[in-house]
């Protein structure tokens, strides 16, 4: 039979309706193994404070180990009436260690400092799992960038042809934000690495327990500085949720491009059969479902962050039961991203680019007009004038339905005396690409360096 942890001052048990509302084991059971690890650390500080004998510590630890094994095997599960993971595990401990010893573990701790600690332990582990998956995707992007070599593509702004860029350059433009996301998790971990254990309900413990010892035992850098903050704040959870949402958004922006590139009209890329889906009615269809699900799930993980922030807004210090709502959003983000990322990586690994089409389209839409303007600047023409002249070239071509390189020497001279036939040297995709050779630019030499830099960055984590 399950017992509430707070029976003493109550004349009866909770109403069934309250119990149903209050129960959280259907989601917080995920934290059971962390709770047991925390309990073992807590038993040690109770012992160090003289509140458990040597024998009691040994028996308590053995009982907790048995409980952990039963939780792992699924033999021990929460039952109806266990309010939360802590309640269920206390029942499990008492069943294994007896009421006398099992009842001693709760001294000097509260579910408030327990849950705040467990969430951090869980999220720190998950940040590593997700970070590794993000790095797998980064590696796929780097591999594709290397395979793309010096293949050009039309670079766009406002979704309009802007300037030619290397396909590799564009692919790496998706890798860098993802590398920063991993960096964000690392940086977040510095703040997450403080243990609320020992904060008690809010005011700290009076039993001479050492929060620093528990913190070290649980892999934290140290205890929190303030017990109220330790039990009441969830910015560490919210910051995790932001990074997770940002990963969702970064995937979604890439996904949107893949969806566009995969249309008949763009025709930039073909998806592998194993990483796309068909239609139940239209036999010809091959759909980019992974990319669409990524785009859709981005909305979901943003919602998780938004919901959490909304829960926190307006909460007075210290612990309020509202804080129980912090877990499902991040659990959902973790479940979503850990399934999405491997599928996304597989899709990226098997993308096949139509480099001939990309090369053909790269100079179209007058995407070399900037090169004319910049060539003129190098001849000493003020940029304002150069911009006008290049614009006049575009206007002429548009009126006659030709491309910039179709203008004759006479056409050029008529537009501006500065437009000598030498301007043709920049009227090629290769010339345009090679000219953008400052750090971070799309020139092949720079992109080759960039690939090495991305590899190094990825290997640093
Ligand atoms: N289950 C709660 C949570 O997830 C922890 C329990 C705190 N309950 C309480 N009455 N103080 O936040």
How far is the C-alpha of 279 from the C-alpha of 288, rounded, in Å? 11
Residue 73 shares a structural domain with residue 123: no
Average pLDDT over residues 249-253: 98
Name the one residue in this structure whose structure tokens are 């009209």: 265
Residue 251 shares a structural domain with residue 332: yes
Give yes or no for residue 254 having a pLDDT over 80: yes
Query: Ramachandran region of residue 108, left (φ > 0), alpha (ψ -120 to 50) or beta?
Result: left
Q: Is residue 92 part of a domain?
A: yes
Tell me the percentage of the chain whose pLDDT exceeds 90.
93
Give yes or no for residue 33 having a pLDDT over 90: yes
Q: What sign does the dihedral 351-355-361-363 (CA atoms) show?
A: positive
Would you please indicate which residues are annotated as catalytic (active-site) residues? Answer: 158, 279
Q: What is the pLDDT of residues 273-309, one digit of tens each?
A: 999 998 888 888 889 999 999 999 999 999 999 999 9
Omega before 318 within 30 of 0, i.e. cis: yes
Q: Ligand 1 pocket test: which of 4, 28, 29, 84 has the largest number of ligand atoms within 8 Å of its C-beta?
A: 84
Cite the beta strand spans of 57-201 per DSSP E.
152-157, 160-166, 194-195
Q: Ligand 1 pocket test: which of 7, 10, 324 has the largest number of ligand atoms within 8 Å of its C-beta?
A: 324
Domain that holds residue 97: 16-107
Average pLDDT over residues 405-422: 94
Q: What is the pLDDT of residue 366?
A: 93
Residue 350 shares a structural domain with residue 373: no
312, two tokens: 């926190």
Residue 93 shares a structural domain with residue 118: no
Q: What is the pLDDT of residues 59-83, one digit of tens each?
A: 999 999 999 999 999 999 999 989 9
Residue 322 shares a structural domain with residue 422: no
How far is the C-alpha of 319 from the C-alpha of 225, rounded, in Å? 16
- Chain centre distance of CA 415: 52
Q: Is residue 385 part of a domain?
A: yes
Residue 208 shares a structural domain with residue 195: yes
Residue 217 shares a structural domain with residue 275: yes
Q: What is the pLDDT of residue 8?
A: 78
Atom number of ligand 1 nearest to Cα 323: 12
From 333, 355, 377, give the residue that closes a domain.
355
How far is the C-alpha of 453 from the C-alpha of 202, rounded, in Å? 47
Q: How far is the CA of 336 from the centre of ligand 1 (A)?
A: 25
Q: Is residue 156 part of a domain?
A: no
Residue 128 shares a structural domain with residue 185: yes
Residue 406 shares a structural domain with residue 344: no
Number of domains in the chain: 3
Q: What is the pLDDT of residues 367-404, one digit of tens each?
A: 999 999 999 999 999 999 999 999 999 999 999 999 99
How far is the C-alpha of 320 from the C-alpha of 55, rounded, in Å? 37
Is 0.90 surpassed by the pTM of this model?
Answer: yes
Q: Is residue 456 part of a domain?
A: no
- Sequence-separated (6 or more) residues with CB below 8 Å from residue 53: 47
Q: Is residue 74 part of a domain?
A: yes
Nearest C-alpha neighbor of 67 from the set 92, 43, 37: 92
Q: Is residue 460 part of a domain?
A: no
Tell me the percentage of the chain whose pLDDT exceeds 70.
99
CATH of the domain at 321: 1.20.200.10
pLDDT band at 1 (very low <50, low <70, confident <90, very high): very low
- Neighbour-count burial of 249, counting CB atoms closer than 10 A to its CB (0-12 exposed, 13-18 middle, 19+ buried): middle
Q: What is the pLDDT of residue 374?
A: 93
User: Alpha carbon of 254 to those of 52, 82, 137, 417, 453: distances in Å?
Assistant: 57, 44, 12, 44, 21
Nearest C-alpha neighbor of 363 from the set 427, 286, 407, 309: 427
Q: What is the pLDDT of residues 306-331, one digit of tens each?
A: 999 999 999 999 999 999 999 999 99
Residue 126 shares a structural domain with residue 234: yes
From 355, 389, 415, give the residue that closes a domain.
355
Which residues line ligand 1 at a C-beta cut-off of 6 Å? 24, 28, 84, 111-112, 115, 319, 321, 323-324
Bridge-based pairing state of the strands 194-195 and 222-223 = parallel
From 331, 355, 379, give the residue that closes a domain.
355
Residue 80 shares a structural domain with residue 20: yes
Q: How far is the CA of 324 from the centre of ligand 1 (A)?
A: 6
Contact of 232 with 321, CB cutoff 8 Å: no
Contact of 306 with 329, CB cutoff 8 Å: no
Residue 102 shares a structural domain with residue 228: no
Q: Is residue 339 part of a domain?
A: yes
Q: How far is the CA of 165 from the centre of ligand 1 (A)?
A: 54
pLDDT band at 3 (very low <50, low <70, confident <90, very high): low
CATH of the domain at 70: 1.10.275.10
Q: What is the pLDDT of residues 87-138, one digit of tens each?
A: 999 999 999 999 999 999 999 999 999 999 999 999 999 999 999 999 999 9
How far is the C-alpha of 202 from the C-alpha of 169, rounded, in Å? 52
- Sequence-separated (6 or more) residues with CB below 8 Å from residue 24: 83, 84, 85, 324, 327
Q: What is the pLDDT of residue 315?
A: 98
Q: Ligand 1 pocket test: which of 233, 321, 323, 329 has the largest number of ligand atoms within 8 Å of its C-beta?
A: 321
pLDDT band at 2 (very low <50, low <70, confident <90, very high): low
Nearest C-alpha neighbor of 144 from the set 267, 258, 245: 258
Residue nearest to atom 3 of ligand 1 (CA): 324
Q: Is residue 7 part of a domain?
A: no
């Amino acid at each position: 039979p399950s017992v509430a942890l707070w029976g003493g001052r109550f004349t009866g048990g909770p109403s069934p309706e309250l119990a149903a509302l209050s129960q959280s084991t259907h989601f917080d059971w995920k934290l059971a193994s962390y709770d047991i690890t925390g309990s073992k650390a807590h038993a040690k500080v109770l012992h160090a404070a003289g509140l458990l004998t040597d024998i009691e510590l040994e028996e308590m630890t053995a009982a907790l180990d048995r409980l952990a094994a039963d939780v792992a095997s699924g033999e021990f599960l929460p039952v109806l009436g266990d309010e939360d993971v802590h309640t269920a595990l206390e029942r499990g401990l008492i069943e294994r260690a007896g009421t006398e010893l099992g009842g001693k573990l709760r001294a000097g701790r509260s579910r408030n400092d327990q849950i705040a600690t467990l969430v951090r332990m869980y999220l720190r582990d998950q940040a590593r799992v997700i970070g590794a998956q993000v790095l797998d995707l980064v590696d796929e992007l780097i591999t594709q960038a290397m395979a793309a070599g010096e293949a050009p593509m039309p670079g766009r702004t406002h979704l309009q042809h802007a300037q030619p860029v290397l396909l590799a350059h564009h692919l790496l433009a998706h890798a860098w934000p993802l590398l920063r996301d991993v960096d964000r998790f690392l940086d977040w971990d510095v703040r997450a690495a403080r243990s609320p254990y020992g904060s008690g309900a809010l005011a700290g413990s009076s039993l001479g327990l050492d929060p620093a010892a528990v913190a070290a035992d649980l892999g934290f850098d140290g205890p929190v500085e303030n017990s109220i903050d330790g039990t009441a704040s969830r910015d560490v959870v919210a910051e995790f949720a932001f990074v997770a949402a940002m990963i969702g958004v970064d995937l979604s922006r890439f996904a949107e491009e893949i969806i566009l590139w995969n249309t008949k009209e763009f025709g930039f890329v073909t998806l592998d059969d194993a990483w796309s889906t068909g239609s139940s009615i239209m036999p010809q269809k091959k759909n980019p479902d992974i990319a669409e699900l990524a785009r859709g799930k981005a909305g979901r993980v943003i919602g998780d962050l938004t919901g959490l922030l909304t829960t926190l807004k307006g909460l007075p210090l210290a612990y309020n039961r509202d804080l129980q709502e912090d877990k499902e959003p991040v659990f959902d983000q973790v479940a979503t991203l850990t399934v999405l990322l491997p599928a996304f990586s597989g899709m990226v690994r098997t993308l096949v680019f139509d480099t001939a089409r990309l090369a053909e389209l790269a100079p179209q839409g007058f995407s070399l007009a900037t090169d004319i303007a910049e060539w003129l600047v190098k001849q000493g023409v003020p940029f304002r004038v150069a911009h006008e002249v290049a614009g006049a070239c575009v206007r002429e071509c548009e009126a006659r339905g030709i491309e910039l390189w179709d203008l004759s020497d006479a056409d050029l001279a008529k537009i501006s005396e500065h437009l000598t036939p030498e301007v043709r040297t920049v009227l090629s995709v290769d010339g345009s690409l090679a000219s953008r050779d400052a750090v971070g630019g799309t020139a092949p030499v720079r992109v080759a360096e960039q690939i090495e830099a991305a590899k190094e960055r990825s290997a640093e984590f």
